[in-house]
């Protein structure tokens, strides 16, 4: 049996697959995919993930389920559309996060307790930010929420004690106690 080099479209790990088969399961993440998808993904340019290693991300399909790294500057991979509940929760190492335009949803408690997180570059396509998503991010000084945002969950920025400016779309549905405990100026636009 002849094997060819490819890359898993879900976790981006290099794999060897039988040349004759058309469907596979990744031996690393268990995702099912077609041979042509693995070939196409292998041909793509390398994804930038900031200081983080791609192996630091646990990605299931197009959902970032967890981040296990300790790097300061993190760029979410471009194949991610959803960041799951608690994906970064309690990570004290992250100081900046870049969320690409492929992402449309940030789960509840996603960055809760990320006390070193000071900078968030937000996707222009996010429609939902879950409850307590950025709660306790005490180093965060400002946040510019995209015009695409439809729902901002309860307590999203509660306890962000350094947060002084929040730009919020005026058409967004706002949860309760969003900025509780923050010295923030909220500008609706």
pLDDT (0 to 100) of residue 4? 72
pLDDT tens-place string over residues 66-87: 999 999 999 999 889 999 999 9
Q: Which two tokens stand for residue 42?
A: 């292998």
Highest CATH level, class, for 48-188: alpha beta
* Domain boundaries defined on the chain: 1-44, 48-188
pLDDT tens-place string over residues 3-59: 777 776 666 677 777 767 777 677 776 766 665 555 554 544 445 556 567 788 999
- Name which of 121, 22, 111, 37 is nearest 79 in CA terms: 37
How are strands ordered across the β-sheet holding 173-174? 57-60, 63-67, 82-83, 105-106, 128-129, 151-152, 173-174
Give the residue with greater pLDDT, 5 vs 136: 136
Biggest distance spanned by C-alpha atoms of the chain: 65
- Percent residues over pLDDT 90 in the chain: 66
Q: Which two tokens stand for residue 152?
A: 């901002």
């Amino acid at each position: 049996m002849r094997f060819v080099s490819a890359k898993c479209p879900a976790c981006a790990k290099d794999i060897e697959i039988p040349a004759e088969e058309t469907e596979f399961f990744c031996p690393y993440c268990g995702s099912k995919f077609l041979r042509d998808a693995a070939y196409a993904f292998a041909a793509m340019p390398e994804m930038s993930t900031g200081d983080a290693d791609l192996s630091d991300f646990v990605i299931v399909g197009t959902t970032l389920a967890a981040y296990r790294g300790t790097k300061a500057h993190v760029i979410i991979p471009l194949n991610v559309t959803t960041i799951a509940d608690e994906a970064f929760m309690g990570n004290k190492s992250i100081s900046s996060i870049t969320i690409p335009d492929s992402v449309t949803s940030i789960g509840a408690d996603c960055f809760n307790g990320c006390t070193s997180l000071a900078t968030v570059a937000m996707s222009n396509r996010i429609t939902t930010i879950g409850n307590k998503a950025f709660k306790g991010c005490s180093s965060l000084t400002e946040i510019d929420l995209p015009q695409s945002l439809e729902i901002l969950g309860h307590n999203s920025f509660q306890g962000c004690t350094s947060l002084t400016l929040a730009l919020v779309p005026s058409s967004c549905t706002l949860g309760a106690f969003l900025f509780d405990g923050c010295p923030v100026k909220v500008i609706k636009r």
